[in-house]
């Protein structure tokens, strides 16, 4: 891939003018973007391979399908960032803040997330690289927060938990605790759903009764 170094200068100038959309942007390998503020920018499909984005502000940044292979994102703030389908192979995300970030379908093979914050982040089963991601800095509860939208008895969940356990080198006893927590959370979710259904049925019944009374008075 050949890129013109002047593209980096043009990018900085556009950013200074207040431009926020950089869809399909291609920057030179190893572009120095240390500490840059790209909060709320649209970088869909951007090629940022090898970019140095340490301590960058990427809150709410749209990085869907972006190429971030081997990029350095240490201590970067990616709160609520949209990283769906992003290529993060070999990326350095140590100590990055990925709170509520969307990593569904992202490729995390050989990425390093030690010390990263993933509270409330979304990772789908299409997200590659569970076993290849260094996760030693994460807690079991943080990891399970990535699987809340699924059923703990689903075969895919079992496989994902096994992969996560391997990545963390968790003993079998801790894996069992993780699955037990999953069952409890699933039970709570189902109970809340049942309450919502009951409330909906009650409201519908009251509305139907009211309509019947109105109809009776007009009859």
Least confident stretch, 13-22, 41-50, 132-141, 154-163: 132-141
Q: Where are the alpha helices (DSSP H) in the chain?
A: 6-16, 140-145, 155-168, 172-218
More confident residue, 24 or 107: 24
For position 65, what pLDDT does the model report?
A: 97
Token pair 């093979």: residue: 109
Question: Quick one: pLDDT at residue 149?
Answer: 43
Number of other residues whose CB lies within 10 A of the CB of residue 175: 17
Write out the CATH class of domain 1-138. mainly beta
Contacts of 116 (CB under 8 A, 6+ apart): 93, 94, 95, 96, 97, 98, 137, 138
Question: Is it the case that residue 6 has pLDDT exceeding 70?
Answer: yes
List pLDDT tens digits, range 10-49. Answer: 999 999 999 999 999 999 999 999 999 999 999 999 999 9
Domain regions of the chain by residue span: 1-138, 139-219
d(CA 23, CA 112): 26
What's the confidence (pLDDT) of residue 31? 95
Residue 99, classified by CB atoms within 10 Å of its CB into exposed (0-12), middle (13-18) or buried (19+), is middle
- Among 86-100, 120-134, 139-153, 164-178, the minimum mean pLDDT is found in 139-153
**All residues at 6 or more sequence positions from 26 whose CB lies less than 8 Å from its CB, including other chains:** 1, 3, 7, 46, 47
């Amino acid at each position: 891939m050949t890129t013109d170094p002047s593209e980096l200068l043009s990018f900085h100038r556009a950013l200074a003018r207040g431009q926020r959309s950089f869809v399909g942007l291609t920057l030179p390998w190893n572009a120095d973007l240390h500490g840059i503020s790209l909060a709320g920018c649209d970088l869909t499909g951007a090629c940022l391979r090898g970019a140095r984005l340490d301590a960058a502000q990427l809150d709410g940044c749209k990085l869907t399908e972006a190429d971030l292979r081997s990029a350095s994102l240490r201590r970067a703030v990616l709160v609520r960032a949209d990283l769906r389908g992003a290529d993060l192979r070999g990326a350095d995300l140590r100590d990055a803040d990925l709170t509520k970030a969307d990593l569904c379908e992202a490729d995390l093979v050989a990425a390093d997330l030690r010390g990263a914050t993933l509270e409330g982040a979304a990772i789908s089963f299409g997200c590659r690289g569970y076993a290849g991601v260094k996760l030693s800095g994460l807690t079991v509860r943080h990891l399970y927060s990535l699987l809340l939208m699924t059923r703990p008895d689903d075969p895919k969940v079992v496989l994902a938990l096994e992969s996560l356990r391997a990545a963390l080198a968790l003993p079998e006893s801790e894996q069992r605790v993780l699955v037990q927590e999953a069952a409890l959370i699933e039970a709570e979710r189902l109970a809340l759903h049942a309450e919502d259904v009951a409330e909906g049925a009650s409201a519908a019944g009251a509305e139907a009764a009211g309509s019947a009374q109105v109809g009776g008075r007009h009859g």
